Structure 1
């Protein structure tokens, strides 16, 4: 009765296109009322959800990404990527993909990655002969790495919810992020041949060196962050603060971070953080409610029973999360469904770090699939191309991402090798 009321009301509200945080909060209130629990618990659980030191990393990494985007760093990263791959077939598409991977290592956010790189690459790609919908699809798909390459906000959330080491999750996200980047670069070449896009002349090693020097300080940031975390100098949360300070120093050094630009960066970061934390607060109440009603334990036991083993279980998890990713915000999905899926994964002996990567990759793919693909909406706003037109050409990228997901799921060394070496 209570389970049906909680999830039924939640699904109905989603179908009615009620904002995800409001839907979570309202269905939680219904569940609390049916469970005869005082509604005062809502405020208590929201405060408890926020009262987490690791969770502080999220607003600071969001702010760091905004500062680096505003401070001209995304343009320098794109310039370096262009010197490396811009002369290849489909060069500008490759620049968008590689530049997104570079920027993902600064921001930890797919939305920030699509916005920053899309704003730089949209006009050059169209001028070179890319169809507008192809440009939008490439920009949107390239942003997927923002949720996987550290510092990934999704991996931070998974670590907060499960207690898995965020440092290990960051390290495990490197190789999958590179795998996704390389696979999309290969696909981009074939798509560019089909599109008949002309090649750009190679500028030579001198240009590579010049653009590398211009992008050196932004490229150094992820090195400082990861080496600082694994060297025991600071925690992932402290690393987020270091990233903000580093972004401020570099932006001022480049003399592109004016007071007006800094105000815009802080304003956008506050808005983005407020959205994420509002969803987190509502999801925290929802997750607590289903936990005290022992819903996750029941579902987890049922899934473990029907799966029978880790191979089938991971396949079921992938299918389920791909569907969830199409319909729900990734942050909310992490908080709600991790508590349901994680216990069964542990009962099968699945590595918790690997499981975190699998969950994050699944939900990242959801950002480029309708109807709720966030990256699609951002790319649409940047390129002025309708969602429907983008969807018609983005499917090759989605299929490649699904193949990457299968490799990451069933070949654990891709994710775990670096953790075993350095962890």
Structure 2
């Protein structure tokens, strides 16, 4: 029997990873072909966006399977990590069971939803809408298999029985409570505070925590069919702007593989690396530059850390200081275009993505200047490095880095000149990076291409599934009247717009820490942005302030997942970085207050 399961595991891995990687490659080709057809030949491929949109949802679903198989879905493990071994196994068992339940809640009503969509034809190719849904359902069957294998493989039959009993008690308890009492808005506290909080602290992936709470709320408190929840998840994930997510992820991974990131960092190190704290300045500048290319914080850190951190260790920088600065630099660069968070904020709130791109540069520069000033004061007592690059060496490294330094300007130019959309621009960077890696740096490892495509699919699936489940939860909150209540509460705060901004900053720092930035923005962005506009706050400024606040929360211990991700990338103990990160975060908070207090910093260049 075990050999049969091993064979099935290999088949699921091969199918999910192979198809997902192929879909990423096809999406890159489709979008780049659309750019070439429209701009070079004045012949737009009107069907390309339609096909790309359908394949995108298949990619998200398969990416979610790959991420679950590799345990790469975003989750909070701080609380679970403090439990004893037996309690951790029970928590893992319950988490796996909840994933199984979510998969079933998606598959069974999904069949009904597919039937409903069969009569709806796509505008250009006249394909039935059910094709899109059936592809997702096939991926969800694989997701169900992976979840069941994790459930059966991580727990004994006694533990499974205990968890089943617990789940049955909760189910019957909620059913009886709803029959016996009318909680009204108290249901929101039970399902969207109590259940969501319990699942997240239990270590259930955030996407599935949102989904199980939304399905439970709809099932126990209304007569709405669960297929409506699936349609809301699909709508949340199907925005064409979100197709930029996998494109920028693959671009970020290519930067490291093709040597582009290393060329940039080596040039910056030659300029200032010999000064006191020189490599710390290089790290900040490198994160600023590379964030303007990849859009993905994980990709940025993975590109910079292997190049800089070993040399910084050799020069005597404490490992905890390295991780603290790397985390703070990642938080600082959240608003640098083409950040994925900027794209997602624009997609879910309706704010112009181009305006957010323009508005994000100066706030990040102020935060970077603050970090550099802190580095200056913290390294005043250090001895300068004796090695000093000569002018000839700097010039040589500049010529080597020139193709890499062109890329950020190329990406911004093709967007501002109207050659590409924000969705398509990453494909230009991907093609450019491949050409530079092949013919300039000669550092293109074809064996790493498939793992890069699989990693892109897994990360995209993890991110987009959160967006889909958070969109369904936000819809449920709106249906319950919570959106109007929240807007009235926030707009009635003392202090007018200043009081609203102050409370928003605190809220997004907390949410960024507990929920991570993306789900927090998808969940609360559509609720809070209209309230900000009602108070006369420019939506671009509000978006930039919210993103900076979420970035600070995301990379702040003890709950910020980004902080622990940074420690893993830097191969540093989180205990070593814990005490050293606070001055950096305090500096970022000061920069955030300045950005919130001076609207011109965010909107002065909008025109």
- TM bin, normalised by shorter chain, reads over 0.9
8 Å CA contact retained: 1:62, 1:109:
yes
Residue 323 (structure 1) aligned with residue 503 (structure 2): no
**212 and 282 in structure 1: CA distance in 2 versus 1, 3 angstrom threshold:** same
SS where residue 316 of structure 2 aligns? coil
Q: Which residue of 2 aligns with 1:305?
A: 492
Q: Which residue of 1 aligns with 2:576?
A: 389
**417 and 161 in structure 1: CA distance in 2 versus 1, 3 angstrom threshold:** same
**308 and 191 in structure 1: CA distance in 2 versus 1, 3 angstrom threshold:** closer
CA shift digits 1:345-402 (9 cap, x unpaired) = 0111111111111111111112320233333223322343221221100111000000
* 1:370 alignment partner, one of 557, 567, 581: 557
Distance 2:288 2:383 in 1: 23
Q: Which residue of 1 aligns with 2:361?
A: 174
1:74-153 aligned within 5 A: 74-153=261-340
Distance 1:307 1:179 in 2: 29
8 Å CA contact retained: 2:259, 2:443:
yes
Residue 19 (structure 1) aligned with residue 196 (structure 2): no
Q: Which residue of 2 aligns with 1:68?
A: 255
* 2:410 alignment partner, one of 202, 207, 224: 224
Q: Which moved more, 1:62-71 or 1:213-222?
A: 213-222
Residue 156 (structure 1) aligned with residue 343 (structure 2): yes
| Bigger Rg, structure 1 or 2 | 2
Q: Which residue of 1 aligns with 2:537?
A: 350
Distance 1:250 1:39 in 2: 49
1:165-244 aligned within 5 A: 165-193=352-380, 196=382, 198-244=384-430
* 1:399 alignment partner, one of 570, 583, 586: 586
**116 and 374 in structure 1: CA distance in 2 versus 1, 3 angstrom threshold:** farther
Q: Cα RMSD between the aligned structures?
A: 1.6
8 Å CA contact retained: 2:555, 2:562:
yes
Q: Which moved more, 1:24-33 or 1:198-207?
A: 198-207
Deviation at 1:289, TM superposition (A): 1.2
CA shift digits 1:309-349 (9 cap, x unpaired) = 11111001001111111111211011001122112101111
Residue 4 (structure 1) aligned with residue 4 (structure 2): no
8 Å CA contact retained: 1:101, 1:149:
yes
Deviation at 1:5, TM superposition (A): 2.5
Q: Which moved more, 1:97-106 or 1:41-50?
A: 41-50
8 Å CA contact retained: 2:319, 2:576:
no
TM-score (norm 1): 0.95
8 Å CA contact retained: 2:327, 2:566:
yes
Q: Which residue of 1 aligns with 2:472?
A: 285
* 1:341 alignment partner, one of 511, 515, 528: 528
SS where residue 215 of structure 2 aligns? helix
Q: Stretches of 4+ moved more than 4 A in 1?
A: none
Distance 2:225 2:550 in 1: 33
| Unpaired stretches in structure 1, ≥5 consecutive residues | none
Distance 2:541 2:484 in 1: 21
8 Å CA contact retained: 2:414, 2:425:
yes
Higher RCO (C-alpha under 8 Å, 6+ residues apart): 1
8 Å CA contact retained: 1:2, 1:35:
no
| Unpaired stretches in structure 2, ≥5 consecutive residues | 1-185
**241 and 197 in structure 1: CA distance in 2 versus 1, 3 angstrom threshold:** same
Distance 2:383 2:546 in 1: 36
8 Å CA contact retained: 1:325, 1:365:
yes
SS where residue 23 of structure 1 aligns? helix
Q: Which residue of 2 aligns with 1:415?
A: 602
TM-score (norm 2): 0.67
SS where residue 89 of structure 1 aligns? coil
1:27-46 aligned within 5 A: 27-33=213-219, 34-46=221-233
Distance 1:60 1:241 in 2: 6
Q: Which moved more, 1:252-261 or 1:403-412?
A: 252-261
Distance 2:380 2:584 in 1: 15
